[in-house]
A = this chain, B = another copy of it.
Amino acid sequence: MSSQGVQGYEPRTGKAFGDPVPTTSDSGVGEIVGAAARAFPAWSGLASAERGAVLERLADALDAESEVLIATADSETALGVPRLTTELKRTTNQLRLFAGVLAEGSYREATIDSPDPDIIPPRPDLRRILQPLGVVAVFSASNFPFAFSVAGGDTASALAAGCPVVVKAHSAHPQTSRETARVVASVLPEGVFGIVYGTEAGRVLVQHPLVKAVGFTGSTAGGRALFDLAQGRPEPIPFYGELGSVNPVVVLPSAAANRSAELATGFAQSLTMGVGQFCTNPGLLFAPSSIVDALAEAVGGAGGGAMLTERMRDSYQSTVDSLIAHSSVRLVATGSGPEEGWGVAPRLYQVSLEDFVADKEKLTEECFGPAGIVVTYDDPAQLPEVLRGLEGSLTATVHADPDDHALAAAVLDEIRRFAGRLVFNGWPTGVAVSWAMHHGGPWPATTSPLHTSVGATGVRRWLAPVTYQSWPDALLPPELQNANPLNIPRREDGVLVVP
């Protein structure tokens, strides 16, 4: 970031892209948050279906501008047109999913208890519903310029909840952010959406008294710093950070024996997809040593690419160098990668299970980029105990053939303690946007193990309950009125009632 603004770059060449986007001053942040707060009553007051219709229009508008958005993002991220085309579609489908969530209506958790004067303590008429928190700050990610960025999952879910959103643009793609923000602002009512640029603007945003919750996707260090700011406020606020993750994969013996070539290809693809810049990148693979050659061949044949920023490239190189220098780690494959710009090549390392256990902390540090470590085991019975000590992760994966199922059950019982999504005979990269998706996990995968940044339930992060006690029907929100005029699912005297 230059002194006069946030400068975008082309990772493929390392050259500046476009003019710097001016950083937002402290007072500028205040004005944008103030406008969002003023827009809150009207935006949250819209009927769910009306808010859903706006999200649909936003999705259509983004799709209509896909050409310029994708071209700009490709210049700034080097992620390539096919991937960015898919990512933008995923982003607009995400907005449409939330429109569906709003239409279905149970996201407000309408709950009605009829009075009972005879129990202890006596129960009056009680009606509970979720309502939006207020202005939400969203810190967008470097590695998903659409899906976890200006109009990404945090923004979509917060808007769906009824919260105005102020995005802090990621410095890796200021032009993409600005172009996307232009489209978003053209569709949403005034004030409901705002965007700020610059690191200091982000800090001011998190501490603004009118900001009531924060969504963040990024590094553990960056997320922790902002989390600490949010929790240290006079009024602490919910901070939903999706941070680092090593995403261990466990290949059990029969699977390794039966499908080594398929596993090697699948692993190399998942490891190097998007130049390894996925939060679900499989950085750690537990496998019998019999498949190391196949893995090495696959990773050695894989191509790298330009990383998103110069700093990430440098960080990748320094991690890679430190692994090479590690006494018990062996480099077993190096793929190809561009020399120019911020290019890197994939790497595969190998370490024995015993040596891994001896230096677990170092060897489970996330390496952002296309580098992985295969941990080779002799005795698969040791796996559950080794896995027990791993820290929080967004995903954990098991490859198992029928003969492995007993061991898979024992492994499953460990990985479900530290990972948010458990993948069977698949690869962790690629996160579907749906009702049952959970994209989260214990620290340091996230700052808030109860919540997800992808999927329908992501909307809950921005909603808080309120209970109405003994109010006249006409003064209640329609969701809680006796006649259920919106015809939504409700819990009535403890029983779920679906119209």
Binding site for B on A (CB under 8 A): 41, 86, 89-90, 93, 100, 104, 106, 109, 111-113, 119-124, 126-128, 131, 133-134, 227-228, 231-232, 235-238, 391-392, 405, 408-409, 412-413, 416-417, 419-426, 430-438, 440, 442-444, 447-450, 452, 455-457, 460-461, 463-472, 474-475, 489, 491, 493-498
Assess whether B424 is in contact with A121, with CB atoms less than 8 Å apart: no
Copies per complex of this chain: 2
Assess whether B408 is in contact with A475, with CB atoms less than 8 Å apart: yes
Bound Cα distance A392, B134 (Å): 13
Q: Which of B93, B450, B461, B472 contacts A238 (CB 8 A)?
A: B450
Bound Cα distance A489, B495 (Å): 10
Q: Knowing A443-B235, A443-B236, A465-B420 touch, does A470 contact B120 (C-beta < 8 A)?
A: no
Q: Which of B238, B447, B469 contacts A236 (CB 8 A)?
A: B447
Q: Which of B104, B423, B430, B448 contacts A494 (CB 8 A)?
A: B104
Assess whether B470 is in contact with A450, with CB atoms less than 8 Å apart: no
Assess whether A405 is in contact with B475, with CB atoms less than 8 Å apart: yes
Q: Which residue of B lies closest to A498 (CB)?
A: B496
Q: Which of B405, B422, B456 contacts A466 (CB 8 A)?
A: B422
Q: Which of B431, B437, B468 contacts A422 (CB 8 A)?
A: B468
Q: Which of B431, B464, B471 contacts A450 (CB 8 A)?
A: B464
Assess whether B467 is in contact with A126, with CB atoms less than 8 Å apart: no
Q: Which of B121, B133, B437, B463 contacts A86 (CB 8 A)?
A: B121
Assess whether B120 is in contact with A436, with CB atoms less than 8 Å apart: no
Assess whether B466 is in contact with A113, with CB atoms less than 8 Å apart: no
Assess whether A432 is in contact with B126, with CB atoms less than 8 Å apart: yes
Q: Knowing A430-B121, A475-B409 touch, does A423 contact B469 (C-beta < 8 A)?
A: yes
Residues of B within 8 Å of A444, CB to CB, are 235
A-B contact pairs, 6 of them (CB 8 A): A112-B436, A121-B430, A412-B471, A420-B466, A422-B471, A425-B470
Residues of B within 8 Å of A474, CB to CB, are 405
Give A430 Cβ to nearest chain B Cβ, in Å. Answer: 6
Residues of B within 8 Å of A468, CB to CB, are 422, 424
Q: Which residue of B lies closest to A423 (CB)?
A: B469
Assess whether B449 is in contact with A238, with CB atoms less than 8 Å apart: yes
Assess whether A113 is in contact with B436, with CB atoms less than 8 Å apart: yes
Bound Cα distance A417, B494 (Å): 26
Residues of B within 8 Å of A123, CB to CB, are 432, 434
Residues of B within 8 Å of A464, CB to CB, are 420, 440, 442, 449-450
Residues of B within 8 Å of A467, CB to CB, are 420-422, 436-438
Residues of B within 8 Å of A493, CB to CB, are 435
Residues of B within 8 Å of A448, CB to CB, are 238
Residues of B within 8 Å of A134, CB to CB, are 417
Q: Which residue of B lies closest to A111 (CB)?
A: B436
Residues of B within 8 Å of A100, CB to CB, are 494
Taking A86-B120, A405-B474 as known contacts, 9 extra A-B pairs with beta carbons closer than 8 A to each other, sorted by chain A number, are A113-B437, A128-B455, A227-B236, A236-B443, A425-B470, A442-B464, A450-B460, A450-B464, A456-B494
Give A303 Cβ to nearest chain B Cβ, in Å. Answer: 22
Assess whether A421 is in contact with B469, with CB atoms less than 8 Å apart: yes
Assess whether B450 is in contact with A121, with CB atoms less than 8 Å apart: no
Give A42 Cβ to nearest chain B Cβ, in Å. Answer: 12
Assess whether A426 is in contact with B469, with CB atoms less than 8 Å apart: yes
Bound Cα distance A413, B104 (Å): 25
Residues of B within 8 Å of A463, CB to CB, are 450
Residues of B within 8 Å of A443, CB to CB, are 235-237
The residue in A89, A111, A420, A463 that gathers the most chain B C-beta atoms within 10 A of its C-beta is A111
Residues of B within 8 Å of A442, CB to CB, are 235, 464
Q: Which of B122, B408, B491 contacts A435 (CB 8 A)?
A: B491
Bound Cα distance A464, B417 (Å): 10
Bound Cα distance A438, B493 (Å): 15
Residues of B within 8 Å of A496, CB to CB, are 106, 489, 496, 498
Give A162 Cβ to nearest chain B Cβ, in Å. Answer: 12
Residues of B within 8 Å of A469, CB to CB, are 421-424, 426
Bound Cα distance A113, B435 (Å): 7
Residues of B within 8 Å of A412, CB to CB, are 471, 475
Residues of B within 8 Å of A456, CB to CB, are 494
